[in-house]
Amino acid sequence: MFLLIALSNLDVLFDLKGRLVSLFNRLSFHSINSALVIALLLTLSSATTAQSSSQANTYHDLLALFGDWRAFEQPPLLDGAPDYTAKTTAKRHRELKTYQARLMSFNINAWPVAQQVDWHLVRAEMNGMDFNIRVLKPWVRDPAYYTSVWSAQSDTPAHEGPTHHALVELWTYSFPLSPHAESQLNTELKTIAPLLRQARTNLVGNARELWVAGIANLRGQAEALDELDNKTNRTGDELRATVQDAKAATDAFIAWLEKQAPSKTGSSGIGKENYTWQLRNVHLVPLSWEEEVALLKRELDRARSMLALEEHRNRRLPPLKAISSPQEYEQRAEQAVKRFTAFLKNENVLPPYDYIEPALRAQMGAFVPLESRNFFATVAHHELLALWTHWYHWFDLALMDTQPHASPVRRGPLLYNIFDSRSEGMATGFEEMMMHAGLFDNNPRAREVVWIMLAQRAARGLGSLYAHANIFTMKEARDFHVARTPRGWMREDLDLLGFEQLLYLRQPGYGTSYVTGKYLIERMLGEMGSQSSDGIRLPDFFKQFDEQGVIPVSLIHWQLTGDGKQIQRLMKGPELQ
C-alpha cells in the first residue's frame, strides 16, 4: 500500500528510492534483504523514469539516474560471487558509457548550487568506475582486492582502498550468534571460495610490489578465519563447514600467490598523468601530481622546522613522559575525554553535538607495551589528545548515523574513496586547528607531537607520490617515510609501515589526502573568514561544513563560499588519459 501511495507522489517516491539505495549499500551482497531492495529499486527505477519523462533534466531525474547508477555499479554474480572476469568487465565498461551519456545530457547551470554539487558527485563516481576499469584494474593487478573478511570498522565512511562488492564485516556481528545472524554470516562466507577461484583467472597483471605485499592482507584473512572458527565451534554444522571451507580456500590462494610471485616483474605505480587524471576527475582535488609534491614538500619542511622551534621554546620544560602501565592509561584516558569535551564546549569550538563524548569514549583505546607500539600508539602514549583530535572521523560517522543527509547522493559513503580529501583532511586539519585554538596551552610539549604527526603524514604522502611515479620502489617509499618521521617514531619493524604504503599504492591519492585535504579546508576557512568584517565563529563554520556531508572539499568550498572556480577549472582542464 505504501509503495502505491509513493508511486503517486514523485517527491515521496524519490526519497524512498534514495533511502533504498542507502540501505542497499549497507546490506550484505547476498542477503535476502539485499535481494528485496534490488527488486524494489528496479520497480522504482521504472516508475521514476515514467513519471519524470515529461520533466527531463530535472533534479528528480538526477536522483532517478543516481538510483539506476548505484544498482548498475553492483556487478552480476558468477558462481555466487561478484563477477570481475574480463568479458563481464568489458561489457560493463560499455554499459557505463550509457549512464555517463545520460548524466552529461543534463543542463544544470540554473540549478541551485547544492543540486549542482550532487550532479558532480554522480559524475565523480562514474569516473571512478571508468578509471578502475581503464587504469587501476584492482581485480587484475592487486591480490589484496580479493580480501573479504574485515574484523574492524574503518574510521572513514567506507573502507580505505579498493574493495570488492561482497565483504564480510565481522565487526558487525555479536557472539554468540543469533540464529538469524548465523544464517546471514554463513551466506556471506560462502562467497569467499568461488571468489578466490575466480581470482586465479582474473589476476593476470604484472605489478610485482602490489602482488608480493598484498599477500599479507590475505594472511590476515586466514588469521581472522582461524579466530572465527574458534568463536563458532558451538554453532551449527553448516556454518562451521563454511568457515573451514573459506579458510582452506584462503590458504590455497596464498600458496598460489606465492608460487606466482617470482614471475611478477613489472612496476606498480600508475604514472603521473594517470595519477593527476584520477585526482582531478574522481576525487575532485584541484591539484596535479606535481602540485601535490610541492605542497607536501612544503608541509614536511614546515612541520620539521616548527618542531625545532617548539623544542627550543620548551627547552627548559621536562620532556613528555610516556604512559607506562594499563592503570595509568585508563586514568589519563578518562581525564583526556573530560578535558577535550570541556575544551570544545567552553572555548565554543564546535556546535553542541550530543555525540562527541560517546564517540570519544568508544575509541579510548588501551595500553600497548613499548615493544609493540606503532607510530600512532607512540603518539597516544605521549599525549592522548594529540591523537584524539584526529577523531573527527568518529564525529563524522556519528553525524552520518544520527542525522542522515537529506540528499540520497550524500547520505551514504561515496564510492571509490571519493570522500578522502574531506574525511582525512578534516581529521588531520583538526589536530593543528585545536593546537592553535589553545588545547595544549597548558602542556606546551604536546605541541611538539602535533608537528611530528604532520611530518609523518607529509613524509608518507611524498613516498606514495614517488611510488606512483615509479621513481621509488615501495621499499624506498617506506625508507623515506621512516627517515623523515622525527624521533624515530615510525618503526620499520611493525606492520603499520607496510600497511600504509601498500594502501597508498593500491589507492592513488589516498596517501596525500591527509595533507592536501587539510590545505584545502584551511584555504576555505580563510576565505570564509575574509568574507565577513567580523571574521567567522568556529561553531558556525563547523556546522555549515558538517552539514554538506562527507564529500570532496572542492564541492564544500563552492557551497559555502559561492566560489565555484575550483570545479570550473576541473571541468575545463585537460582530459589526461
Containing structural domain, residue 22 = 1-74
Task: Supply 341's cell numbers.
Answer: 569535551
pLDDT in tens, 301-343: 999 999 999 999 999 999 999 999 999 999 999 999 999 999 9
Among residues 266, 294, 314, the one where a domain terminates is 266
> Residue ranges of the chain with pLDDT lower than 70?
1-56, 573-577
Q: What is the pLDDT of residue 532?
A: 80
Using a 10 angstrom Cβ sphere, with 0-12 exposed, 13-18 middle and 19 or more buried, the burial of residue 58 is middle
- DSSP-assigned letter for residue 135: I
Strand extents, DSSP E, 507-567:
none
- H/E run at residue 241: helix 237-260
**What distance in Å separates the CA atoms of residue 408 and residue 414, rounded to the nearest whole number?**
11
In a domain, 435, yes or no: yes
Give 555's contacts (C-beta < 8 A, 6+ positions apart). Answer: 117, 120, 121, 284, 548, 567
- At 485 the pLDDT is 98
pTM: 0.90
pLDDT reported for residue 15:
52
Which residue in the block uniquely carries the three cell numbers 577461484?
197
What pLDDT is recorded for position 323? 98
CA atoms lying within 13 Å on the CB side of residue 425? 29
Backbone angles phi, psi at 150, to 5 degrees: -120, 120
Note whether 235 and 344 are same-domain residues: no
Looking at residue 234, its pLDDT comes to 87
* 230 and 196 part of one domain: yes
All 3 cell numbers of residue 160?
Answer: 580505505
d(CA 203, CA 84): 10
Same domain? 205 vs 311 = no
Q: Are residues 279 and 257 part of one domain?
A: no
Give the containing element (helix H, strand E) for 82: strand 81-82
pLDDT of residue 572: 82
Q: Is residue 87 part of a domain?
A: no
**Given 244, 266, 288, which residue is the final one in a domain?**
266
- For strands 168-169 and 77-78, give the pairing: unpaired
Residue 530 to residue 513: CA distance in whole angstroms = 25
Most distant CA pair in the chain: distance in Å?
75
Same domain? 287 vs 332: yes
**Grid cell at residue 451:** 608537528
288 and 411 co-located in one domain: yes
Q: Is residue 85 part of a domain?
A: no
Distance CA 81, CA 195 (A): 5
Domain count, the chain: 3
Q: Is residue 173 one of the residues assigned to a domain? A: yes
Whether residue 88 lies inside any domain: the answer is no
- Residue 357 and residue 235 share a domain: no
Last residue of a domain, one of 38, 57, 74: 74
Alpha-carbon gap, residue 359 to 393, rounded angstroms:
10
231 and 292 within one domain: no
- Looking at the fold, whether 222 and 182 belong to one and the same domain comes out as yes
Nearest Cα residue to 541 out of 554, 557, 525: 525
* Cell numbers linked to 284: 575532485
**Whether 236 and 305 share a structural domain:** no
Domain membership of residue 527 (yes or no) is yes
Same domain, 252 and 283: no
Q: Which residues contact 67 (CB under 8 A, 6 or more apart)?
A: 17, 18, 20, 21, 41, 44, 45, 48, 408
Residues 292 and 255 in one domain: no
Residue 123 lies in a domain: no
In a domain, residue 491? The reply is: yes
- For the chain, how are helix, strand and coil distributed in percent, rounded to 5? 70, 0, 30
